[in-house]
Structure 1
Amino acid sequence: MLNRLSLLSLALAAAFGASAHAASTTQYLIIAENGKQIGQQVVQHEDDGLTRVRFSYKDNGRGPELEEQFRVGADGTMTEYTVKGSSTFGNAVNEHFERKGDQAQWKATSEQGSKTVSGPAAYLPLNSSFEVVSANITALAATPDGKLPLLPSGTLSQRVLDTVEVTGDDPAHPQTQTVQLLAQTGIGLSPSFYWATTGAKPRLFGVVIPGFATILEQGWQHNGAALAARQKAAESKMLADVATQLQHPLTGLTVVRNARVFDSEKATVGAPSDVYVLRGRITAVLPAGAPVRGAVNQIDAAGRIMLPGLFDMHGHVDRWSGALNLAAGVTSVRDMGNDNAQMQQMLDETIAGTLLAPQVVPAGFLEGESPYSANGGFVIKDLAQARNAIDWYAEHGYPQLKIYNSFPKAILKETVAYAHSRGMRVSGHIPAGLRAQQALDAGYDEIQHINQVLLNFLVTPTTETRTLERFTLPAEKVAGLDFNAKPVKDYVAELAKKQISIDPTLSAFAFLKQRDGDMSEPFGPVADHMPPDVKRGFSVGTMKIADDATYQRYQKSYDKMVQFVGILYRAGVPIVAGTDDLAGFTLQSELQLLVKAGLTPAQALQVATRNGARYTRTSNERGSITPGKLADLVLVDGDPTRNIADVRKVAAVITRGYLIYPREIDATLGIAPFVQEQPAVQALAPVSTNHASAGGNDGARARIEALARQRD
């Protein structure tokens, strides 16, 4: 291992060329959770103060390639910054920032601007390496309050959570140093955690992304597992505090009065009703105004629509995304691929009430070994390993298997059959070298993503769908696809006959036609509610769109993808609502796109409720507002059964025995609220069945009852 790393060091250093001015070089290796190296960051500090960075990684056949250079001023913030390269999906990255005195200006492919500033201020690039983080760590350490203004806007904060001594990898040359765990807030919708050196001028030591990868200075890689454990413990305390703050337990029988209940089976709204909740389950649904017997709390829905908890059928959950899901009324997420240990931890924390999160239905991720492999779940070589993975998932209660791009096509049919024998549904991407029709022939129950559905008509035996070609080919070719052609009609008919469910993730695929500077279609309706840095990111293009003709072609292809989902739905093909993007908000956009495809708003809500339960096999306890089922309830202002945009106006959520207010979550995350009022819990006066105090002195009671029996 050390020899391999030493050779890699020489190769990376040579890539920069010899330089008489190089003062120091720091190299970071990006190691996936399974131990595979997937990238590196090489930082060269020159004597004249210039820092050069080369950053790249590849996972799942894609990743960024960036080259940066920058200088910092006396306060540690950047005075010059340039980055060029390509983003994860191949779009050009070309960004420049400069500050002279109090004047700052910047220009990127999606924006340009200027601002007069005084004092320290850190520029936030749209695409950057972790060396920018390192510069900010140093600059923040020099501030008296651990805060630093951001450009174009915002404030970055930093605090220390933990310190630990680490040792070098080479026992023949012992090294030790003390590193600290830092939490930074002010960028994005969740904290970022970094390990840094200590002292007067700390810098980045490493980044641990549990379940994905570690990014550590070369020569210190063996510390990754220990740092991950300490980081998870620190995060757990923060997350438990958030859960305590934002989850309000509903104790005793609670009645939600005067709610207009959405019937997910009929896709209609009923007359006003009173819904009773006890210990996390629905105990009764009665006409509004019916006598209340023994409830200790009431919530006045005030005529709001009550939806069953929504399902996101294509999530990749993490420990910080739960708040966004719940604020959007998403109470169940089908996770479509994750690190297995991380998933088990999140399931345990959710049950314990220490994690603010929806209920998760996990799908087991199964990939094959190749240079393009994704590195989550199990990565296998042969049928024996595939069966072992399926056994692990079945024994851990996973109801579904997701097969990925590099899975060996020669063993697909046997693998699907074995998963079925263990009682699991099977879905996924279409393995490279196959068409969707062949996956159906092998026994698939569901297909993920609209591109995977339509690649059936576009691929040839030499198409490499493990690269960006799985995106560029549909963007180029779907515009010219004839949906009235017999092969297409036959394909749709087979999907309907076999009841193959489709998880189109239309919202996620809007990136195919987004140009730099254009607001994202899915996130446009919520952009003005977001923190400035998040809103700014919604205008960054993803695909390389070279000219107007390409844009028009990609736009037409995307519009036809949306149209095709409508064709599938009307033909009787089951549709589910999934996201594969920003938690919560993307599900709302997905429903809006289903309406654009031709569904009514009520039908779109049915897809996100009844269909979600049906295709996670949880209909016995979720998907409708029915006595005996889980009390996953969402109160919404307006009427989303008539105007699907009203689904964003979530006033309150009940799930797992807790009452959750989206306004409170939004305030915590710096999001402008979507509703003005939230329904409060009111205590009800005790009735005859209530006792002033509960239980106790059972021994004395038993003695009296024994004496009474003696006189029977």
Structure 2
Amino acid sequence: MKFSRGMLLSLMGYGLVVTAHAQDAVTKTPVVKAIKFGKLIDGTGKVTTNAVVVIKGDRIESVGTGDSAIPSGAQVIDMSNRTGIPGLIDVHTHMTYWWDKNPRTTPNEGAANLLPQELAFLAGENARNCIDIGVTTVRDMAARNYTDIAMRNLINRGVMVGPRMFVAGPAIAAGGAVPRWGQAFPWVPPSQNQASGVEGVMTLARQEMAAGADFIKMFGSSGGFQTVETHQTFTYEEMQAAVNVAHTNGKRIAIHSYGASGARDAVKAGADTVEHAIDIDDATFAEMNRKHIIYVPTAYHNVWYIQNYKEFKWPESENLKIQAYQDKVEETTRRAIKAGVRIAMGSDAVFELFGHNTEELTYLVKSGMTPAQALAAATVNGAAALGMENDLGQVTPGHYADIVAVDGDPLSDISVVVHNVKWVMKGGKVMVDKTAK
């Protein structure tokens, strides 16, 4: 496909970048690349020294050692003084929550007042901030007016820079009067995402999949931002209906619950992941293990809210409630780790938290994970949460060439992953290169 001058000018007017090699990739043989790492942590538990990763197109073709593993004629990328790890996966983001940092508004007000077209474009800043820190894949967990679907499609077309996005659309929230729901989630028009009763839930789940959602997100309780209430908002039967519709259609489902009862019913219903929940009982942890349900605790965002409460114009007294909730998150995460529950990294990133997503790893280690376990939470476990184990989360043959180079040893110090990302590849293309700085 060739672009006319008018089409190019139109795309440039929207701030979109069309690169020449995007068309070349369709018509030419993919370039073979060989990346040399001093050490490679491949996501399976294997560590290889003097590793060579051979890439053809957007996939990994082979992993070997030494210069003899470099194919003749390959483009060589020398990262031999760095450690290679799989591209990082953040399974709980809100990419379309963008704020222009206007002090006359709060972040939530700024996002709510933008047109969908504006929001999809401006949120590209959040997407770029993810790539910059090595997050090459995200699961996006609710967006008004299907702007997340628009962003996903633009990224997939190559006209917006960002991570792979797996999106939920507006998500499913309980209809009727829910305490303080509008204060916690003001950006999604109720007509788009509210449902009541089994039939209403099933109808809305089907509607969101028809619109292009990759998975179903359900708000199984109140809670969000400074509102740390834990009221369960859907019954077990309603959760079961959502799970059945998702699974019948080959989709996965994530259920948000700030409290224990919502988490218990979400697990009983067979959700694929449970988001946020505190005070999960031992029996529910055991059932999560039996059903291979993944826990996404989202710890750091609470700390970030406390640090930035003035931007949201909350009274300082709200921080006491958030901190009390955060203490429960860390305690529940410690118990989940001891119980052997599989945990995936989810930042719950919004607004200026993008670019700091991986601070979540610091709190997973604080709660009892080893650095190796925390790295797994951001790679192989994230891929499992997406149902993409055969494509993402590993630097092994057949997987997408999503690879990050860091300075230091992530297996002894997780801050290496948080602060020392120097080079990022997504789908065989170099997205970030800070090695000359």
TM value normalised by structure 2: 0.75
AA at the equivalent of 1:344: I
| Partner in structure 1 of residue 159 of structure 2 | 354
AA at the equivalent of 1:369: G
CA contact (8 A) 1:314 1:580 kept: yes
Q: What is the aligned counterpart of 1:575 among 343, 351, 354?
A: 343
Return the alpha-carbon distance in structure 1 between the equivalents of residues 383 and 63 of structure 2: 20
CA contact (8 A) 1:577 1:612 kept: yes
CA contact (8 A) 1:650 1:662 kept: no
Return the alpha-carbon distance in structure 2 between the equivalents of residues 629 and 237 of structure 1: 35
| Partner in structure 1 of residue 286 of structure 2 | 493
Counterparts of residues 318-467 of structure 1 (less than 5 Å):
318=96, 319-339=124-144, 341-364=146-169, 365-371=171-177, 372=181, 374=185, 375=188, 378-395=193-210, 398-404=213-219, 405=221, 408-409=234-235, 411-430=238-257, 435-449=262-276, 452-454=277-279
Counterparts of residues 152-551 of structure 1 (less than 5 Å):
237-241=13-17, 252-266=31-45, 268-290=46-68, 292-318=70-96, 319-339=124-144, 341-364=146-169, 365-371=171-177, 372=181, 374=185, 375=188, 378-395=193-210, 398-404=213-219, 405=221, 408-409=234-235, 411-430=238-257, 435-449=262-276, 452-454=277-279, 488-511=281-304, 514=306, 520=307, 544-546=315-317
**Secondary structure in structure 2 of the residue aligned to 1:240:** coil
Q: 2:407 matched to 1:637?
A: yes
Residues 433 and 578 of structure 1: is their aligned pair in 2 closer, same or farther, counting only changes over 3 Å?
closer
Share of identical aligned residues, percent?
25
Displacement, 1:658? 1.9
Displacement, 1:234? 8.1
**Secondary structure in structure 2 of the residue aligned to 1:440:** helix
Residues 620 and 435 of structure 1: is their aligned pair in 2 closer, same or farther, counting only changes over 3 Å?
closer
Mean Cα displacement is larger for which, 639-648 or 287-296?
A: 287-296
**Secondary structure in structure 2 of the residue aligned to 1:314:** strand
**Secondary structure in structure 1 of the residue aligned to 2:138:** strand
Return the alpha-carbon distance in structure 1 between the equivalents of residues 256 and 298 of structure 2: 13
Displacement, 1:296? 4.0
Return the alpha-carbon distance in structure 2 between the equivalents of residues 397 and 626 of structure 1: 30
Residues 351 and 408 of structure 1: is their aligned pair in 2 closer, same or farther, counting only changes over 3 Å?
same
Of Structure 1 and Structure 2, the greater strand share is in 1
Return the alpha-carbon distance in structure 2 between the equivalents of residues 333 and 393 of structure 1: 19
Q: What is the aligned counterpart of 2:427 among 631, 656, 661?
A: 656
Count of aligned pairs between the two proteins: 371
Displacement, 1:388? 3.0
Residues 545 and 428 of structure 1: is their aligned pair in 2 closer, same or farther, counting only changes over 3 Å?
same
Return the alpha-carbon distance in structure 2 between the equivalents of residues 258 and 422 of structure 1: 41
CA contact (8 A) 1:330 1:584 kept: no
AA at the equivalent of 2:193: F
Return the alpha-carbon distance in structure 2 between the equivalents of residues 395 and 636 of structure 1: 40
AA at the equivalent of 1:497: R
Displacement, 1:280? 1.2
AA at the equivalent of 1:295: G
Larger Rg: 1
Displacement, 1:366? 1.2
**Secondary structure in structure 2 of the residue aligned to 1:354:** coil
Displacement, 1:620? 1.1
Displacement, 1:583? 5.1
1:291-323 per-position Cα deviation (integer Å, ceiling 9, x unaligned)? 533334211002311111100010112332111
Displacement, 1:653? 0.8
CA contact (8 A) 1:333 1:359 kept: yes
C-alpha RMSD of the superposition: 3.3
Counterparts of residues 96-135 of structure 1 (less than 5 Å):
none
Structure 1: 5+ residue stretches without partners = 1-232, 457-487, 515-519, 521-536, 664-675, 679-712
CA contact (8 A) 2:243 2:269 kept: yes
CA contact (8 A) 1:326 1:584 kept: no
Q: What is the aligned counterpart of 2:436 among 673, 677, 686?
A: 677
Displacement, 1:401? 1.4
**Secondary structure in structure 1 of the residue aligned to 2:40:** strand
Displacement, 1:400? 2.6
Query: Taking CA–CA contacts closer than 8 Å with sequence separation of 6 or more, which of the two structures ends up with the larger relative contact order?
Result: 2
TM value normalised by structure 1: 0.47
**Secondary structure in structure 1 of the residue aligned to 2:125:** coil
**Secondary structure in structure 2 of the residue aligned to 1:414:** helix
**Secondary structure in structure 2 of the residue aligned to 1:302:** strand
Counterparts of residues 22-33 of structure 1 (less than 5 Å):
none
Structure 2: 5+ residue stretches without partners = 1-8, 97-123, 223-232
Displacement, 1:499? 3.0
Return the alpha-carbon distance in structure 1 between the equivalents of residues 202 and 325 of structure 2: 39
CA contact (8 A) 1:621 1:629 kept: yes
Return the alpha-carbon distance in structure 1 between the equivalents of residues 205 and 312 of structure 2: 38
